[in-house]
Amino acid sequence: MEICSMPVHILSDKIKNRELSSVEITRAVIDRIKKIDPKIQSYITVVEDEALKKSREIQNDIDAGKFLSPIGGIPVAVKDNICTRGIPTTCASKMLSNFIPPYDATVIKKLKEQKAIIAGKLNMDEFAMGGSTENSFFKKTKNPWNTSCVPGGSSGGAAASVAAGLIPFALGSDTGGSIRQPASFCGVVGLKPTYGAVSRYGLVAFASSLDQIGPLTKNVTDCAVVMNAIAGYDKMDSTSANIEYPDYTGFLTNNIKGMKIGVPKEYMTKGINEDVRKALENAAGVLESLGAECEEMSLQYTEYSIPAYYLISSAEASSNLARYDGVKYGYRASRYTDLIDLYRKTRSEGFGEEVKRRIMLGTYALSSGYYDAYYKKALQVRTIIMDDFNRAFDNYDAVIGPTAPTTAYKIGEKIDNPIEMYLGDIFTASVNIAGLPAVSVPCGFDGENMPIGMQIIAKPFDEGTLIKIGYAFEQNTDFANKYPELD
Amino acid sequence: MEYEIVIGLEIHSELATKSKIYCSCTTEFGGIPNTHCCPVCTGMPGVLPVLNKNVVEYAAKAGLAMNCKILDFSKQDRKNYFYPDLPKAYQVSQFDLPLCVKGYIDIDLNDKKKRVGITRIHIEEDAGKLIHDEWETGSLIDYNRCGVPLIEIVTEPDMRSAEDARVFMESVRSILKYTEVSDCKMQEGSLRADVNLSVRIAGEKELGTRTEMKNLNSIRSITRAIESEAKRQIDIIESGGSIEQETRRWDDEKGLSYSMRSKEEAHDYRYFPEPDLAPVIIDANWLDRIKSTLPELPDERKKRYIDQYKIPGYDAKIITASRETADFFEEAVGLSNNAKAVSNWIMGDLMNLMKNSECEEIPFSPSHLANLIKLIENGVISGKIAKTVFKKMFETADEPERIVEREGLKVVNDEGQLNNIVSAVVKSNPKSVEDYRNGKKKAIGFLVGQVMKETKGKADPQMVNKLLKDELES
């Protein structure tokens, strides 16, 4: 097996057994980025020299017999909305194209403490708004399975880089499906943790009550390993949960006998792609064959999750993105007549179209006279959707369905139709609204050989169940071991 | 036509916490611009706020001292607007669920009590400061003040005159200083107010249209702004016009206000719950702990001083108006055991000297005053000389004994020394001596005065009297 197609847990073993050095792995990753990424366009920034320097330092530690974590010496790339000290953090926006944070996000601190090597920053939809990574100011990332298709989004660079062997693992962020949908489109594993399980400190906010950082990996084992590295309470994040966090690798048991799994009928009928529906039926069959009990059930408010999600997320975004005003950092219009003109020109020129659309939508939803009809109503719907899920988890250990209603579509196909693009979040957004954990695992391919993802949802802080089901499914199918042809 | 002025205040006060409301930066005033800040208080991308618990405690303490109900569940909200001194382009404040509600302060108006209702007190963050003057091509921003915790105290429209507002502001300041919630240094901007004012024909039930005047930085400018605005509104009504609901800016130098923005131009702040912060939950235990830190408040202290020290009500009110003065009083009484004397010194010489020198802190310690009183009681100096010593003490903060020693101010009560002076005075004033001996007993006063003059006022007057009588009648 090539170094670049090895999952994290195998690389880790090889580092421990001295079969591979951190320097060799980092070198191989950097070389492959240089060779393959011009085709995929998944990176905004590659930190070659610094990564190689770090890998030599860490290898010295390894050679000296120092303790190493399961991700020690292994390169990682992160979505470009996660702050990295001294490395540009652009959110794929012209607005922050020159922004270099003087601080690390908490997850970056954790990765560094555990001696992972930051190799670069990954492309995304501008400020994480979008589902195709076409809204990047810098470049359009291609789907490694078919470079005329989108990788999904907004963590499209993260999903594509992991799928294309351009990084052993990546961190993305998920506000309405931005980890899971690209994971599904690119055939990798992507987990959105429970709201509060991973610190948001240093994640450039899109919608504060929905955003979560999570891993994109080649398989479920790696997902558990990376969750161990990043989950946990952080006093810098007031929404972080101060609870005991388990060892997620303890759930890699390959035993799901007796588990009760709900399959919402709303997820299987609402205009979803036929190949996707079949793959999911097949997946449910696999789980049943492993001793789980799959049962059709209902999450009746599913269709309201899209309007609620777009109101809440846009309202929060309109406030979160107000700070980009050209006064303190980031882009500033070169010519302006007064303060108001400075604001207007900076924001008109610095933000892309989708970002401006959401800011306007959110501003409108919060305006006096409209607040009750839109924002407040959306919060009420949020409660109803949470209750809907709570009732489901009284009866089921987990709920499964397709991650997205379609597989990856062609670049440019939906860019002019935002509503159609928004509807792609139908199965993922409700999970953020309810603050639940969910994972997308590869579960098949469509007629065009594009990957299909299965979403597994569990109750708050029950990532263990996601890993348990995902791992058993992966061990008894072959989808995770397929790689796109790129060389 | 007789008019009634209706006034409500919104008072902003900086809290005296050591660190800012959402980060650990210092709240210290001044400092080189942009040195008291960090990624959190300057609103860098990706950072998150963490609420300083002391802010909640200080604000709740203010609420308790102003007879408010402290809500066990309150939340923080974002107030959205663009301005360069506000780096996040929103201010975290409290909208519909403030920390404290429904309180009041009883104010003393020439021995008439008046109750002013407190609608609410909420916590929020201060903004930075724009510096326009010293820069030709643009403005500079100092973010040091950004994130300094504030409380906003909103009153009911219960005040009816500039005097009401002045006394109310004094009471608020006194309470905030007593509770150590704020140091209330107005020139540093740690206490400022917006005035909501309307007028109506006396006896009307309906309130008139109100205007809001922003950012008044001293009690004097508040009273001036009220007088000016009331007159402006009455003039408009008298001349047949009507009042526009608007926000006005007070120019203290010119003594005039200007329209800032009309009702139509009012900001839509798009308040919504701050998603980065959890609700503020104050359970009974926490509230009890906060209650236990409440000191005796000015009103209670005043009553106790009248009872315990038997000083006049007026004196008690003045002394307890500031906590520093009251604490000084009590300590000096404790050391001297002479409440009457301490009170007299404070009410008279001290207040005068402080007023004339515009001094805000008493420059010497309570033990200085207690010692001065003992010097008088023990006959070491005369009451008249004591006034000189007091002034010196105020100017130099030296111990009174040292001043007396250094300046040679001790009472002269050496009989031999005084006898010589008395004899000399008798010799050189034969006219007065004759008058006395002829029965004009009053003439002794002149002679006493002469002896005092010779001794620069230091002679023990009783002894002088006795010695003079002996000499004249021998």
What token pair was written down for A101? 């944070």
Phi-psi bin for A18: left (phi > 0), alpha (psi -120 to 50), beta?
A: left
Cα B113 from Cα A213, distance rounded (Å): 59
Task: Tell me whether residues B45 and A323 touch, CB distance under 8 A.
Answer: yes
Task: Tell me whether residues B272 and A371 touch, CB distance under 8 A.
Answer: yes
Comparing CB atoms, the residue among B46, B50, B51 nearest residue A205 is B46
Residues B338, B225: one domain?
A: no
| Contacts with A239 from chain B: Cβ below 8 Å | 48, 275-278
Task: Tell me whether residues A329 and B44 touch, CB distance under 8 A.
Answer: yes
Distance, CA of A28 to chain centre: 24
Phi-psi bin for B180: left (phi > 0), alpha (psi -120 to 50), beta?
A: left
Q: Which of A155, A178, A184, A313 is catalytic?
A: A178
Q: Which residue reads 């009457």 in tokens?
A: B340
Per-residue model confidence (pLDDT) at position B134? 65
Q: Answer whether the bond into residue A154 is a cis peptide, omega within 30°.
A: yes
Residues B225, B338: one domain?
A: no
Containing A284, the helix (H) or strand (E) segment is helix A274-289
CA distances from residue B252 to A193, B226, B257 in whole angstroms, order as listed: 56, 12, 8
The mean pLDDT of chain A is 96
User: Is residue A154 flagged as an active site residue?
Assistant: yes
Per-residue model confidence (pLDDT) at position A194? 98
Phi-psi bin for B439: left (phi > 0), alpha (psi -120 to 50), beta?
A: left
Cα B448 from Cα A419, distance rounded (Å): 106
Mutate which of A208, A332, A340, A370 to test chain B, going by most B C-beta atoms within 10 A?
Answer: A208
Per-residue model confidence (pLDDT) at position B187? 66
Per-residue model confidence (pLDDT) at position A318? 98
8 Å CB contact between A234 and A209: no
Res. A171: pLDDT tops 70: yes
Cα B323 from Cα B338, distance rounded (Å): 20
Residues B341, B454: one domain?
A: no
Residues B224, B195: one domain?
A: yes
| Contacts with A82 from chain B: Cβ below 8 Å | 46
Which residue, B378, B407, B436, sits at the end of a domain? B407
Q: Is A282 exposed, middle or buried (0-12, 13-18, 19+ CB in 10 A)?
A: middle
Q: Which residue reads 């992507």 in tokens?
A: A190
Residues B271, B337: one domain?
A: no
Per-residue model confidence (pLDDT) at position A284? 97
CB atoms within 10 A of CB A478: 8
Question: What domains can be seen in chain A, in order of their start residue?
Answer: 3-256+436-481 (3.90.1300.10)
Q: Which residues contact A84 (CB under 8 A, 6 or more apart)?
A: A78, A101, A104, A105, A108, A118, A121
Cα B338 from Cα B340, distance rounded (Å): 6
Residues B141, B113: one domain?
A: yes
**Which residues partner with A441 through β-bridges?**
A454
**Which residues partner with A372 through β-bridges?**
none
Task: Tell me whether residues A238 and B278 touch, CB distance under 8 A.
Answer: yes
What token pair was written down for B54? 């002391």
Residues B316, B270: one domain?
A: no
Q: Number of CB pairs < 8 Å for A and B? A: 98
**Which residues partner with B250 through β-bridges?**
B257
Residues B216, B300: one domain?
A: no
Give the start-end residues of each E strand in A13-107. Answer: 43-46, 75-79
One-letter amino acid of A483: Y
Residues B96, B244: one domain?
A: yes
B166-195 in b/e form (b: 16+ CB < 10 A) is bbbbbbbbbbbbbbebbbbebeebbbbbbb
Residues B306, B245: one domain?
A: no
Query: Nearest 5°: phi and psi at B185?
Result: -80, 105
8 Å CB contact between B370 and B336: yes
Query: Per-residue pLDDT tens for A438-469?
Result: 999 999 999 999 999 999 999 999 999 999 99
CATH number of the domain within which B420 lies: 1.10.10.410
Q: Which residue reads 């009883």 in tokens?
A: B106
CA distance A180 to chain B (A): 22
Compute the radius of gyration of chain B from its Cα atoms. 30
8 Å CB contact between B347 and B313: no
Residues of chain B contacting A, Cβ within 8 Å: 39, 42-51, 78, 80, 82, 84, 87-90, 141, 268, 270-272, 275-278
DSSP per-residue letters across B67-98: TPEEPSEE--EEEE---TT-TTSEEEE--SS-
Per-residue model confidence (pLDDT) at position B186? 65
What token pair was written down for B90? 């929103």
Residues B25, B67: one domain?
A: yes
CB atoms within 10 A of CB B288: 9
Task: Tell me whether residues B275 and A316 touch, CB distance under 8 A.
Answer: yes
Cα B55 from Cα A229, distance rounded (Å): 34
Comparing CB atoms, the residue among A99, A207, A367 nearest residue B268 is A367
Please tell me the total count of domains within chain B.
3
8 Å CB contact between A212 and A195: yes
Cα B454 from Cα B417, distance rounded (Å): 12
8 Å CB contact between B50 and A236: yes
Using DSSP, state whether A231 is helix, strand or coil. strand
Per-residue model confidence (pLDDT) at position B322? 86
Query: Per-residue pLDDT tens for A215-254?
Result: 999 999 999 999 999 999 999 999 999 999 999 999 999 9
Phi-psi bin for A369: left (phi > 0), alpha (psi -120 to 50), beta?
A: left
Cα A467 from Cα A453, distance rounded (Å): 15
Lateral strand order in the sheet of A169-174: A43-46, A117-122, A75-79, A169-174, A212-217, A189-192, A438-445, A451-457, A398-402, A260-264, A293-297
pTM of structure:
0.89
Q: Which of A21, A42, A55, A154 is catalytic?
A: A154
Comparing CB atoms, the residue among A322, A339, A368 nearest residue B84 is A339
Parent domain of B469: 415-473
What token pair was written down for B213? 């005047």
Give the start-end residues of each E strand in A169-249. Answer: 169-174, 189-192, 212-217
With CA atoms as reference, the chain B residue closest to A82 would be B46
CB atoms within 10 A of CB A348: 10
User: Degrees (nearest 5) of the Cα angle A99, A101, A107?
Assistant: 130
**pLDDT average per 10 residues of sequence, chain B (474 residues):** 94 96 94 95 97 97 97 97 96 97 92 92 95 76 96 97 94 93 77 93 91 89 94 94 92 89 85 96 96 92 92 89 91 92 91 82 90 87 84 88 80 77 84 83 83 80 81 76
8 Å CB contact between B51 and B280: yes
| Contacts with B278 from chain A: Cβ below 8 Å | 238-239
Mutate which of A90, A319, A351, A360 to test chain B, going by most B C-beta atoms within 10 A?
Answer: A319
Query: Nearest 5°: phi and psi at A266?
Result: -65, -25
Which residue, B255, B290, B325, sits at the end of a domain? B290
8 Å CB contact between A66 and A108: no
Phi-psi bin for B102: left (phi > 0), alpha (psi -120 to 50), beta?
A: left
Cα B143 from Cα B190, distance rounded (Å): 16
For chain A, the distance separating the N- and C-terminal CA atoms, rounded to the nearest angstrom, is: 14
Comparing CB atoms, the residue among A101, A322, A366 nearest residue B82 is A322
Q: Which of A21, A54, A79, A173 is catalytic?
A: A79
> What percent of chain A is predicted at pLDDT more than 90?
93
User: Is residue A79 flagged as an active site residue?
Assistant: yes
Comparing CB atoms, the residue among B45, B80, B268 nearest residue A319 is B80
Residues B216, B345: one domain?
A: no
Per-residue model confidence (pLDDT) at position A60? 95
With CA atoms as reference, the chain B residue closest to A102 would be B39
Per-residue model confidence (pLDDT) at position A270? 60
Query: Nearest 5°: phi and psi at A436?
Result: -90, 160
CB atoms within 10 A of CB A135: 25
8 Å CB contact between A180 and A216: no
| Contacts with A366 from chain B: Cβ below 8 Å | 80, 270-272
Per-residue model confidence (pLDDT) at position A49? 97
CB atoms within 10 A of CB B273: 18
In sign, the C-alpha dihedral spanning B428, B429, B431, B436 is: negative
DSSP per-residue letters across A294-358: EEEE--TTGGGHHHHHHHHHHHHHHHHGGG-SSSSSS---S--SSHHHHHHHHHHHHS-HHHHHH
Cα A257 from Cα A250, distance rounded (Å): 16
Per-residue model confidence (pLDDT) at position B190? 73
CA distance B88 to chain A (A): 5
Query: Per-residue pLDDT tens for A33-88?
Result: 999 999 999 999 999 999 999 999 999 999 998 878 999 999 999 999 999 999 99
Give the start-end residues of each E strand in B244-401. Answer: 246-251, 256-262, 272-273, 280-281
| ipTM score of complex | 0.95
Query: Half-sphere exposure (CA, 13 Å, Cβ side) for B268?
Result: 12
Phi-psi bin for A177: left (phi > 0), alpha (psi -120 to 50), beta?
A: left
**Nearest residue to A243 via CA among A287, A195, A188:** A195
Task: Tell me whether residues A237 and B48 touch, CB distance under 8 A.
Answer: yes
